[in-house]
Amino acid sequence: MGKVALFIVDVQGDFLPPDGSLQVPAGLLVPPAIISLLRDHKYHWDYIVVSQDYHPPGHISFASSHPGHKVYSDVELKDGRGILYEQKLWPDHCIQGTKGCEIEPELAAKLAKRGDIVKLVRKGWHKDVEAYSAFDGYMSDFNNPAVPPTELDLQPQRKIVQWLREQGVTKVVVTGLAAEHCVAHTALSAVASRFQTAVLQPATRAIEDRDAEEQWDKLCAVGARVIGRSNRPRTL
Ligand code: VGL
Ligand code: ZN
């Protein structure tokens, strides 16, 4: 039987009320939902992958890095190969070393105790590159995080897909914040890498519920399961 990895995406101060700079309105329901998944003996997780949005000051996704452009607007940017792409502009968030970047403390404490099976993935650490999917991050041990990699360090980077395959992981279950952005993109990457993929909707929350619904439809269409999806508005 293939092994299963639980992904816990970006459960960090800046995405949570009351102090976060990029709050998910009902985000406070997510840490306890995930903690109960860790405790519930009905579930077995062979590995847990915790992602951390990990931006340097002046990150390309910050509106503050594009004078004259508003938060939540889209700008057209050129990537390293000169190809145009759209970037949504965010408030400054999850800056390395700040409180808003830290994993929610109660969840972090629970994860630290399972250190043998928990990996940390830091993403968005490169100033000029946005990263929504946890699969675009840099993996280290949860209790022994790697120093932020530099461009030169990219070569020895342990690719997450390869690591999961080596461990015999065939199933990926995705939880966390924000549902329509990093959770959905992580699940889409998992499908693209041919993992059996599920999103546990009750352990996610969106900035905009309607956008999350669109992403769940897209995920279902590519063969992922969205478990516990409800049509009722889910608020605090
Ligand atoms: C996220 C916007 C910008 C997320 C991260 O974790 O969903 N959203 N950076
Ligand atoms: Zn971000």
Distance 129 CA to ligand 1 centre (A): 13
Residues paired with 47 in a beta bridge: 5
Residue 41: the pLDDT is 83
Residue 205, pLDDT > 50, answer yes
Whether ipTM tops 0.95, in short, is yes
Name the pLDDT band for 231 (thresholds 50, 70, 90).
low
pLDDT, tens digit (0-9, with 9 covering 90-100), for 16-30 = 999 999 999 999 999
Q: Best substitution site from 132, 136, 204, 215 to test ligand 1's pocket, by max atoms within 8 Å of Cβ?
A: 132
Name the pLDDT band for 156 (thresholds 50, 70, 90).
low
Q: Best substitution site from 93, 204, 205, 215 to test ligand 1's pocket, by max atoms within 8 Å of Cβ?
A: 93
Mean pLDDT of 211-225: 97
Distance 213 CA to ligand 1 centre (A): 17
Phi and psi angles of residue 14, each rounded to the nearest 5 degrees, phi first = -70, -15
Residue 186, pLDDT > 80, answer yes
Q: Which atom of ligand 1 is nearest to the CA of 61?
A: 3
Name the pLDDT band for 159 (thresholds 50, 70, 90).
confident
What is the full DSSP assignment across 197-230?
Answer: EEEEEEEE--SSHHHHHHHHHHHHHTT-EEET--
Q: Best substitution site from 182, 183, 204, 207 to test ligand 1's pocket, by max atoms within 8 Å of Cβ?
A: 182
Mean pLDDT, the chain, as a whole number? 93
Residue 232, pLDDT > 90, answer no
Q: Are 184 and 211 in contact (CB under 8 A)?
A: no
Distance 201 CA to ligand 1 centre (A): 17
Distance 96 CA to ligand 1 centre (A): 14
30 lines ligand 1 (CB under 6 A): no
Residue 183, pLDDT > 80, answer yes
Question: What Å distances lie between residue 177 and 81, 152, 203, 232, CA to CA?
Answer: 30, 30, 9, 19
Of the CA atoms within 13 Å of residue 233, those in its CB half-sphere come to 7
Q: In this structure, how many other beta carbons lie within 10 angstroms of the beta carbon of residue 18?
A: 6
Distance 198 CA to ligand 1 centre (A): 19
Residue 80: the pLDDT is 82
Distance 22 CA to ligand 2 centre (A): 9
